[in-house]
Amino acid sequence: MIRILRGHFYCFLAIFLLITSDSVLSDSKTDQPEPRHILGWVESIRLEPWGLKMLARIDTGANTSSMSARDIHQFKKGNKDWVRFILDFGTEKGKPTRTVEIERPLLRSHKIKQHSGISQERLIIAMDVCLANEIHKVEFNLIDRRALNYPILLGRRALAGIALVDSSRTHLSKADCGHVKKKKKKHDQSDELAIPE
């Protein structure tokens, strides 16, 4: 009888410990928002506030995000460090590449380890990006990506809590964020789009 009671006691104790340890573990998890979107490995984005539309590579293998930049110059604006650079990007296949000059406050510089294993010092800026019809602040390191297919690479930090990635698909989301493309009037071919694409 004592053996039976002892067996029941140990069984009850094991169940109790499992229940309490599960509740302790669930309390210790960090509260991260559930991803709301599924993205493909290439998506359209817009750089805000200008609404500049371009393609971005979605790369869960990269921790940080990068933006194509050439002719990078640091300068002072007031007593703060800023950076000016040229961004070259295509909008669609067959259309010419566009070039814009961008000025942003410099957040910091950071050593980025490349695939070759060599570390490279890069400047870091923050920009608002329209991704999946939502505006998100993303930190970018600046690097010349003109030899690559996409001017923007979005890494894990930019995607955390926002989206999951389906690596077999592309263009699963829109990047409108309130930008409306005006239709050209048939009788007036001189009308231009109000928002650059």
Most confident of 79-83, 117-121, 188-192: 79-83
Written as six digits, the tokens of 55 are 């393609």
Domain residue limits, the chain = 37-170
Higher-pLDDT residue of 62, 18: 62
- Residue 169, pLDDT > 90, answer yes
pLDDT over 70, % of the chain: 71
Return the pLDDT at 186.
56
User: For all residues of the chain together, what is the average pLDDT?
Assistant: 81
Comparing 3-17, 28-42, 112-126, 160-174, the range with the smallest average pLDDT is: 3-17
Q: Tell me what pLDDT residue 192 has.
A: 37
3-state secondary structure of 100: strand
Q: What percent of the chain has pLDDT over 90?
A: 52
Query: What mean pLDDT do residues 82-93 have?
Result: 87
* Residues 177 and 134 sit within 8 Å (Cβ to Cβ): yes
What b-and-e string marks burial along 128-158, b requiring 16 or more CB atoms within 10 Å of the CB?
ebbbbeeebebbbbbbebeeeebbbbbbeeb
Beta bridge partners of 57: 42, 153
Instruction: Write down the CATH superfamily of domain 37-170.
Output: Acid Proteases (2.40.70.10)
Cα separation, 179 vs 197, whole angstroms = 10
The alpha carbon of 131 is separated from its chain's Cα centroid by a whole number of angstroms, namely 8
> Mean pLDDT: which of 15-29, 100-114, 179-193 is highest?
100-114
- Over residues 100-143, the pLDDT tens digits come to 999 999 999 988 776 667 788 899 999 999 999 999 999 999 99
Nearest CA to 102 out of 66, 79, 127 is that of 127
Confidence of residue 21 (pLDDT cuts 50, 70, 90): low
Strands (E), 30-114: 37-40, 42-48, 52-58, 65-68, 70-77, 80-89, 98-105, 108-113
Can you give the pLDDT at residue 161?
87
The whole-angstrom separation of Cα 41 and Cα 39 is 7
Of 30-34, 66-70, 103-107, the range with the lowest mean pLDDT is: 30-34
Compute the average pLDDT of residues 49-66. Answer: 93
Structure tokens that stand for 96 in this block: 């010419």
pLDDT over 60 (residue 27): no
